[in-house]
Amino acid sequence: MTKKQRALAAVEALKKEYPDARCSLTYEEPLQLLIATRLSAQCTDARVNMVTPALFHRFPTLDAFCEGSQEEIADYIHSCGLYKTKARDIFAMCQKLKSDFNGIVPDTIEVLTTLPGVGRKTANLVVGDIYHKPAIVADTHCIRICGKLGLTDGTKDPRKVENQLRAILPPDESNSFCHRLVLHGRAVCNARKPLCEKCCMKEFCKTNLQNQKGDKR
């Protein structure tokens, strides 16, 4: 089975298992997704979703963020961890969006990553979910599961994982595929104790097949 064949099999298996694939962060417009994704670094999506309603109520627009302060933003996001750094990035990001982009969230990874605190993971999520362009969100679930499946060479480098997956995934499926990997990583392919016997991809998962061979020796 080639990597492309395995990738297609994974896409179809995850589609059946998780038909409703969407971002678990709660947002209503592009700026909110951009900010929520920045907050999700080293923090659970569930925690971010608890914090953002009050944050977005206080700062309902880009102008509101720009007219506020880094310190006040920090007060609202304290429980997300690394709150001082995140508040600094959010405030600077909003200032740059207003001054350089007329308040519009850019639609390309290359431009998005020029914003303070925005890396390729965040940029891919925005490009995929907001602008519906092919995107690969190489988060911890994606990196771990794709390595186990044999879709990548096992690298932990997000950029390398992104590039390797772009080469084998159908572009129109890539964004949803990454969302489904998050759901699968939480429900089945847990980092500490994967439930391989319950996995919808066990028949072609490279790691599972190797483990089965080892058990028969």
Give the active site residue among 121, 157, 198, 206: 121
Determine the 3-state secondary structure of 168 from DSSP. coil
Residue with tokens 């096992």: 154
How far, in Å, are 57, 70, 142, 160, 167 from residue 154 at the CA level? 42, 39, 11, 10, 15
Active-site entry in 86, 129, 139, 148: 139
Separation between Cα atoms, residue 49 and residue 62, nearest integer Å = 19
Residue 121 is a catalytic residue: yes
Reply yes or no on whether 139 is catalytic.
yes
Q: List active site positions.
A: 121, 139
